[in-house]
Amino acid sequence: MSNEIEFENAIKKILEHIGEDVTREGLIDTPKRVRKAYEFMCSGYNQDPKEILEKALFTSTNDEMVVVKDIEFYSQCEHHMLPIIGKVHVAYIPNGKVVGLSKIPRVVDVFARRLQIQEQLTEQICDALNEHLKPKGVAVMIDARHMCMEMRGVEKICSTTVTSALRGLFKSNKKTKDEFLSIVAPSLHK
């Protein structure tokens, strides 16, 4: 039996377990749709941030902060497989090379499209940029809503979680860190 059929059969079992009729018109193709959705939502396992970043590095004399804000993302918590929805803010200080700006959101997606916890997602994005760009510093801040807190459990609607990861000058130089925070602060909790 192929992995695709096994996955779809597992979804049928879940539907039956919650009391649904898997032969009902609206559910006939649901197992296939769910499989395809999960293949997309978990596609980050098949991607390498190194390949994304190294294809778009360009020599530059710029040594000032580059900030990409409000990168929307969707992920799933690894504990309940429920959505995490938020924004990522990324800054780096070039060290002879800059990266094509579209590659930063692509790196966010590599890690967001895996089962995650927000704290780890923040670290993974920061470490990938730090390792492959070799900048003077990297900062990543994530502001996100967790459906595992809103849809179940404590049911705290619209609460957000903010996490950060700092490397290089963002960690060692308070002025640099403060500049980053002043740039991204207006975007938090929107």
Say which residues have a Cβ less than 8 Å from residue 2's Cβ, sequence separation at least 6: none
Annotated binding-site residue numbers = 77, 80, 148
Enumerate the domain spans of the chain. Answer: 1-42, 48-187
pLDDT at 187: 85
Same fold yes or no, 1-42 and 48-187: no
Q: Say which CATH topology domain 1-42 has.
A: GTP Cyclohydrolase I; Chain A, domain 1 (1.10.286)
SS3 13: helix
Per-residue pLDDT of the chain (190 residues; tens, 9 = 90+): 699 999 999 999 999 999 999 999 999 999 999 999 999 999 999 999 999 999 999 999 999 999 999 999 999 999 999 999 999 999 999 999 999 999 999 999 999 999 999 999 999 999 999 999 999 999 999 999 999 998 888 888 888 999 999 999 999 999 999 999 999 998 886 6
Question: Running DSSP on this structure, what letter comes out for residue 60?
Answer: -
Q: Are 180 and 62 in contact (CB under 8 A)?
A: no
CB-based burial label for 96 (10 Å; 0-12, 13-18, 19+): middle
Q: What is the CATH number of domain 48-187?
A: 3.30.1130.10
118 a catalytic residue: yes
pLDDT at 31: 97
> Which of 20, 148, 150, 179 is an active site residue?
148
pLDDT at 164: 98
80 a catalytic residue: yes
> Which of 76, 116, 118, 124 is an active site residue?
118
pLDDT at 1: 67
Give, for 86, the enclosing helix (H) or strand (E). Answer: strand 83-93
Give, for 73, the enclosing helix (H) or strand (E). Answer: strand 66-77
